[in-house]
Structure 1
Amino acid sequence: MKQAPPASTTDTPHSAAVGTGTMGNKLLVILALLSAVAPLSIDLYLPAFPAMSEDLSTSTSAVQLTLTAFLVGITIGQLIFGPLSDRFGRLRPLLIGAVLCVVASIAAVIAPNVAILVAARLVQGIGGAAGMVIGRAIISDVAHGKAAARAFSLMMIVGGIAPVIAPMVGGFLVDPIGWRGILTVVLGLAVIMLACVVAGIRETFPALRRAELKVLREQSGSPNAALRSREFLSYTLTFGFSFAVMMAYISASPFVYQDMMGLSSMAYGIAFGCNAFALMIVSGIAARLTATHSVRGMLATGVGLMTAGVAAVGILVATGVDPIWLSVPLFVTVASLGLILGNATALALGAVPAAAGSASAVLGALQFGLAAVVSPLVGLGGEDTAAPMAVVMAASALIAVTAFALSRAEGDERATTRMGSGNLVDR
């Protein structure tokens, strides 16, 4: 597929030198914050599920539906806002999504019953998705090569840790402020998201650039031909099913840590904090190693560690050992994602620079679509077994490993020859 030339520096006001694949730290921080709003909104209120069920006089499964609705909303929202950002630029769709997220967050705080809360969470997810999907596209606009991989890894320190650390924060907040107070915190995050968009984001995909890439896509024979490439699909599946491993762990964690291991809400939060810290450290290491190591090689290491951790979880569950021992392989599994999420994102989006918004939408829709499926599956066996979690994690890890292995069939030769364009990270 023909590659578009890097945008000029005048097209991207936040990048000092787009052609060299750099981007400003201020923009990176803002994009990281935008990417964290939706993940924090997913899990911040997990420890409040019992209180919500009692206060709203509804079942546990109905409360769980508020989480599923949010995940479905994120999936739909990314499929909407990603292509829109390719057609109309990044800024306008991002503003619309941020406003929608704020309005829906207000509705969630004041929801009188679980039905309205589910509807509000659905819309909240749709709006919040804009920050995630367009944020990734903006990075593809202004950073290339190893700089893009490093930026995605740094973003994952925030975006990747958010769904892990959120239950810990929620565990500390649920008693003093209640579940509506936690949803008010989510509202505050949505307001911050809107303020960051208004004050700190400028258009990085102007009309002239959109017209140039539209011509290239038309010359390829199909506007979305690149999205069907084996390279893009392989890295996208690696990313999506690796994230599914983490979501299986997160969704089952309240029952595994509190009901099976016997931890208190506070101890549960601390356990989550340890895993979050490990993910943060590994993500930071990955960002630093990008300058001297192969991005693909780091991804391979991460996938291998994740597979080993998931296999250990399955063995421990099958042999019926004390559940407390599950904390060790779960720690390894979560930490390994620091080598996977950012690098897989950079490799996937780097494969389709002419359709970054749509590619980001596919990546994110798969990510949270799988999360929506995984979330209820891990609870099928009840509260006294971790077997469903282990099975879902194992199936997801197997698909991720297979997808990564298939990407090798494309070979590194083509990636090397395309590096000259500056649009792909080094493998």
Structure 2
Amino acid sequence: MSDPTPECRSSSESDKGDSPTAGPSSTAVALPSLPAVPPPASTRPPSSKGSHRSPRPPSVSLSPVSEKQKQKQKPVDKASTPPPAAAAPASTPHPPEQERLELATRRWIDIGTVFPVLQDPKRYSMAVKVTILLVVSIVTLAAPFVGNAFLPAFTIMLNTLHTSKTDVNMTSTVFLLALGACPMWHAYFSERYGRRPVYIFTTIIFVISSVALARATDIGVVIGLRFLQAVGSSTAQSVGAGTLSDIFYPHQRGRAFGVYYVCPNLGPLLAPIFGGLLVQWRGWHAIAWFLALYGVAMWIMLFVLLPETSVALKARQAAARALPPPSSADPAPRSTEKWYSVLGKETWNHCVHPLHSLQYLAFPPIGLTTMYISICFSCTFAYSTNIPYEYAADPYDFSQISIGLVFIAGCLGQIMGSVTSGKLSDMVVIHAKKTMGDAYRPEVRLRVSWLGVPFCPIGLLIYGWTIETNQFWFVPLIGIFLFCIGLQLANSPIIAYYSEAVPGKSASIVAVHNLCRMFAGALVSAITPTAINNIGTGWFMTILAAMTALGALALEAVRRWGGRWREEREAREQEAEAMARAGEMGTSAEKGKGEKA
């Protein structure tokens, strides 16, 4: 074995003079500069009781210089040497995909859907979002389709049910009023229990009522079942808007809502055609059987392709998961203690609480835009109830089938306006966010609504006065086409605006919006025959055109001052929350003092 280096030799000599005995422990004490790792067992010298001289330790385990020489002599295999591990960053700016796509709590009602239930529904892929959009749009088609499918069967129902025209018309009146009121309750239940349960159970109501209607032989029973059909088919009128707000980002909602409103506009176009064919084939009961099959198809699509998307529900579920598990010392849950006493109160709240959504009409951005759209929407009932009489009389003398085809003009206008408004709305929002940055305001969407403002009065004037003067049958339809384009250009951006004006409450707001539209439409449809008989079609449409033009001032007010109104509302809500927290802290402090006393 080679001699140790001078440093090692001096250390060994000092060991011999300091210690009467030799051993491994003396070597460790004499080399304080060496690492704290003990030498291998094979290199430790055996202890000798009779020896006064410590054995010289091997240099390979004691000399750092020899270690370096050994490394130089030994060739290094670069291929087998692993690269040095990079230091892990202190914080990961982008969490891995499995963390970003966090799964939400899965309930029994979520069984059956092929898509995962994500904690953040906006994280769905675009393919899943488009699938959900198409499913919700098809469900939205149900209400206008059911409402218009029985129109060709009125004369048949009059004879087979042995009733009066007033009673037959009541079937549509009840359906229309229920169609306006029921979405308020649908929105309330969807925000409390989630979107999916409301879709599933209301569709079951629709199927059962349609089957019962196919067997009905009494006009009173028919009226009641038409009410239940409205309950079951009107879910997507409000919950659909909330579903789209759940899954789409703000810059995507304009186009999504444009597609969403295409199907409701197809309802008045397709329903009379299918209804007329079914009545001629098997009578008016065949319409009810067809609607029952349509309801079954809707239910299957909802059950398989619609996951739970309610953001509010998922936030409550996440908060519940964050709570510590209850211990045996904790008291029983409040819901168990007061189940029977709370049952009556909960039932009352379910019946009355949805009416609280009407308070949103007091918020100017909601109330003013709803007023304008209700005025424009009511005009559709004015011309739709007038067209059958005008085109059946001289000089047109259209047949019933031809009169049904006349409504195609309005349907095409609504489809074109809906798709166009969606694209323009998204373009305006994207441009505004690029140019304004943090100063972006949702009211920029209303610029697209203003594009449709001139079309509404112009279309009504063309229709009214060309019908009044008996112009060629195609000319009045140009006015209807223009009016419907303007209506959808104004309506779709306003619906998308609701989801940003009051975040998290879009379903309730759209329900109130729908209620006002339906009640305004019912009022105008009731007064249209009398008004036209007294002042004529031209002047009545002129009055309606003036109302739509004046109503646009409300739209301009929201575009100008909507941001300020929203900030004031947010400030009031924050102040109310602060006062509520202060009150809770004061109450807890008083309880603490009482316990100490």
State the Cα distance separating 1:316 from its structure 2 match: 3.9
Cα distance change, pair 390–309 in 1 and its aligned pair in 2 (3 A): same
Q: Which residue of 2 aligns with 1:86?
A: 191
- 1:97 aligned to 2:202? yes
Shift of 1:35: 0.7
Larger deviation, residues 240-249 vs 354-363: 240-249
Is 1:250 matched with 2:384? yes
Q: Deviations over 1:81-134 (max 9, x none)?
A: 111111111112222211111111122222212221111111111121223221
Would you say 1:359 and 2:509 are equivalent positions?
yes
Tell me how far apart the structure 1 counterparts of residues 164 and 543 of structure 2 sit (CA, whole Å): 24
Answer whether contact 1:235 1:345 (CA < 8 A) is retained.
no
| Mapping 1:28-427, distance limit 5 Å | 28-205=133-310, 207-210=313-316, 228-259=362-393, 261-293=396-428, 295-316=445-466, 320-322=469-471, 324=473, 325-380=475-530, 386=537, 390=541, 393-394=544-545, 397-398=548-549, 400-411=551-562
Give 1:50 shift: 2.0
Contact kept? 2:458, 2:545, Cα under 8 Å? no
**SS of residue in 1 equivalent to 2:242:** helix
C-alpha deviations, 1:340-371, integer Å up to 9, x for none?
Answer: 33222111233111222221221222222333
- Say if 1:372 and 1:388 are closer, same or farther in 2 by CA, change over 3 A: farther
- Asked if 1 retains the 8 angstrom alpha-carbon contact of 2:446 and 2:493, the reply is yes
Higher relative contact order (CA closer than 8 Å, sequence separation 6+): 1
Q: Does the C-alpha gap of structure 1 residues 323 and 389 become closer, same or farther in structure 2, counting only changes over 3 Å?
A: farther
CA contact (8 A) 1:238 1:401 kept: yes
Unaligned segments of structure 2, at least 5 residues: 1-99, 105-115, 320-355, 429-443, 568-597
Cα displacement (A) at 1:381: 5.7
Percent of pairs with identical residues: 20
Q: How much is the aligned-residue C-alpha RMSD, in angstroms?
A: 3.4
* Alpha-carbon contact 2:129-2:247 (below 8 Å) kept: no
Cα pair 1:171 1:269 within 8 Å, conserved = no
Task: Give 2:548's aligned amino acid.
Answer: A
| Structure 1 residue identity aligned to 2:497 | L
TM-score (norm 1): 0.82
SS of corresponding position for 1:160: helix
Distance 1:223 1:113, change over 3 A: closer
Decide which moves more: 121-130 or 171-180: 171-180
Distance 2:517 2:145 in 1: 15
TM-aligned CA distance change 1:176 to 1:329, over 3 Å: same
CA contact (8 A) 2:452 2:486 kept: yes
Matched to 2:308, the amino acid is: E
In the TM superposition, what is the alpha-carbon distance from 1:338 to its structure 2 partner? 3.1
Deviation at 1:331?
2.2
Tell whether the 8 Å contact from 1:105 to 1:186 is kept in structure 2 after alignment: yes
Deviation at 1:204, TM superposition (A): 0.8
Q: Structure 1 pair 308/194, CA: closer, same or farther in 2 (3 Å)?
A: same
Contact 1:79 1:362 in 2 (8 A): yes
1:299, CA displacement in angstroms?
1.2
Contact 1:65 1:118 in 2 (8 A): yes
- Paired residues in the alignment total 401
Provide the C-alpha distance between the structure 1 equivalents of 2:317 and 2:371, rounded to a whole number of angstroms: 30
Query: Contact 1:252–1:389 at 8 Å: present in 2 too?
Result: no
Is the 1:36–1:159 contact (alpha carbons within 8 Å) kept by the matching residues of 2?
yes
Q: 2:206 & 2:214 partners in 1: Cα distance?
A: 12
Alpha-carbon separation, structure 1, partners of 2:359 and 2:317 = 17
Looking at structure 2, the residues matched to 255 and 131 of structure 1 have their Cα atoms a distance apart, in angstroms, of 32
Does 322-331 or 127-136 show the bigger shift? Answer: 322-331
Give 1:18's aligned residue: 122
AA aligned opposite 1:276: C
* Cα displacement (A) at 1:212: 8.8
Q: Distance in 1 between matches of 2:229 and 2:372?
A: 27
Q: Please tell me the residue identity of whatever aligns with 2:556.
A: A
Could you tell me how far apart the structure 2 residues matched to 1:262 and 1:14 are? Answer: 58
Distance 1:341 1:328, change over 3 A: same
Separation in 2, partners of 1:177, 1:344:
42
- The C-alpha deviation readout for 1:113-170, integer Å capped at 9, x for no partner, is 2221111111111121223221111111111313112111111111133234423443
SS at match of 1:202: coil
- C-alpha deviation, 1:74, in angstroms: 1.5
User: Deviation at 1:21?
Assistant: 11
| Change beyond 3 A, Cα 1:282–1:122 | same
Query: CA–CA distance in 1 between the matches of 2:292 and 2:530?
Result: 31
